[in-house]
Amino acid sequence: MKRKIYLSLAVACSMTAVAPSFADPITDNETVRTYFADVFPELAIEDYVDGVYAIDQNLRDQWLQIEEFPPYEDAVDEGKVLFDTPFANGKSYANCFDNEGVGIKQNFPYFDMEKNKVVTLELAINECRTHNGEQPLDYGKGAIAYISSYMASTSSGELINVTVPDNAAAQAAYEDGKEFFYSRRGQLNMACATCHMASAGKRLRADILSPALGQVSHFPAFRSKWDDVGTIQRRYAGCNTQIRSKPFKLQSEQYRNLEYFHTYMSNGLPINGPGTRK
Ligand code: HEC
């Protein structure tokens, strides 16, 4: 029984994954956009932020109904309370971020030249805590996802603006994320690109596969399956598990580099998080 399910899954994700080319980030983005423009000629670039709801009218109608009473609103409110609550030392999150943390989500992740690593928003939230003598929060869900949801909401409409500086380590991190995205893994031997590039728009069991372009814009996302908001890396782990591949630790170097590449891909698209998904 199990075997049969996985077999049909393998067939649904056809094996014509887009081959990675070795190019600079700007060329990569042009390649991805040209590819999707061919697959979905009816979509404008900004439509991609709606994910699967940009390509299926039925699902879109259901989604618009859910959005009338957004299930992520409590998370945003809770996140604001947490964000505004001072640490034991009297400092707060606002002290750790540019513009006191308001309207900055579109600049994450970024490559920190001093720390020599990719810094995601969730990592920065926890580094802010430890820097101020507080315990780090668990990644993926709960308080960190609420704070991140609130911060995303203050960036609503801002255009994603991830940069890959002219620096060997930054470029290596980007390339590493790109390699992850295009590498087949797990018992099903599939890459992110197998499902979200080559099979985007196709049906996989009960789902229609969303295009990789625009996937990051609405995270953290409220999923009915989670019954709460979760971070983008929680989603990465879920997708890794689906192909029977052991997920990496949230905020591991692998997932941070993947998020760097994956977010850069959506540069220029507006932040619309948090959002809701099935
Ligand atoms: C076996 C196919 C498969 C593979 C491989 C896969 N995913 Fe997914 N992914 C899905 C399905 C199914 C969904 C839910 C429907 C949708 O939105 O695409 C999903 C959803 C997502 C979402 C949420 C989209 C949204 O609009 O909220 C993200 C982000 C995502 N995947 C990223 C990845 C990344 C990154 C990888 C590689 C680590 C990956 N996926 C690998 C099947 C896959």
Q: Is the pLDDT reported for residue 6 higher than 70?
A: no
Amino acid at 15: M
Is residue 3 very low, low, confident or very high in pLDDT (cuts 50, 70, 90)?
A: very low
- For residue 243, the ligand 1 atom closest to its alpha carbon is 1
When pLDDT is averaged across residues 40-47 and rounded to a whole number, the result is 97
- The mean-pLDDT minimum among 9-18, 150-159, 240-249, 252-261 falls in 9-18
Contacts of 61 (CB under 8 A, 6+ apart): none
Sign, Cα dihedral of 4, 8, 11, 17: negative
- For residue 219, the ligand 1 atom closest to its alpha carbon is 27
| Ligand 1 site, residue 207, Cβ cutoff 6 A | yes
| Ligand 1 site, residue 274, Cβ cutoff 6 A | no
CA of 209 to the centre of ligand 1 (A): 7
pLDDT at position 23 is 72
* CB distance 209 to 200 below 8 Å: yes
pLDDT at position 273 is 94
What would the pLDDT profile of 137-194 be if each residue is shown by its tens digit?
999 999 999 999 999 999 999 999 999 999 999 999 999 999 999 999 999 999 999 9
pLDDT at position 22 is 54
Task: Determine the Cα–Cα distance for residues 212 and 273; give it in Å rounded to an integer.
Answer: 16
- For residue 194, the ligand 1 atom closest to its alpha carbon is 5
Catalytic residue set: 239
The pair of three-digit structure tokens given for residue 221, joined into one six-digit string: 């996302």
When pLDDT is averaged across residues 98-122 and rounded to a whole number, the result is 98
For a mutational test of ligand 1's pocket, the pick from 13, 48, 182, 209, i.e. the residue with the most ligand atoms closer than 8 A to its C-beta, is: 209
pLDDT mean across residues, the chain: 93
Which residue CA neighbors atom 37 of ligand 1 most closely? Answer: 192
| Ligand 1 site, residue 221, Cβ cutoff 6 A | yes
| Ligand 1 site, residue 66, Cβ cutoff 6 A | no
| Ligand 1 site, residue 14, Cβ cutoff 6 A | no
- For residue 180, the ligand 1 atom closest to its alpha carbon is 38
* CB distance 40 to 211 below 8 Å: yes
CA of 239 to the centre of ligand 1 (A): 5
Measure the CA dihedral 33/39/45/47, to 10°: -140
Q: What is the pTM of this model?
A: 0.94
* CB distance 257 to 162 below 8 Å: no
* CB distance 96 to 131 below 8 Å: yes
Task: Determine the Cα–Cα distance for residues 157 and 181; give it in Å rounded to an integer.
Answer: 26
| Ligand 1 site, residue 190, Cβ cutoff 6 A | yes
pLDDT at position 13 is 44
| Ligand 1 site, residue 210, Cβ cutoff 6 A | yes
Q: Is the pLDDT reported for residue 81 higher than 80?
A: yes
* CB distance 274 to 220 below 8 Å: yes
Task: Determine the Cα–Cα distance for residues 181 and 179; give it in Å rounded to an integer.
Answer: 5
* CB distance 94 to 49 below 8 Å: no
Is residue 4 very low, low, confident or very high in pLDDT (cuts 50, 70, 90)?
A: very low
Task: Determine the Cα–Cα distance for residues 208 and 200; give it in Å rounded to an integer.
Answer: 8
What would the pLDDT profile of 114-123 be if each residue is shown by its tens digit?
999 999 999 9
What would the pLDDT profile of 56-75 be if each residue is shown by its tens digit?
999 999 999 999 999 999 99
Q: What does each C-alpha distance from 64 to 31, 58, 69, 175, 220 come to in angstroms?
A: 31, 10, 9, 37, 18
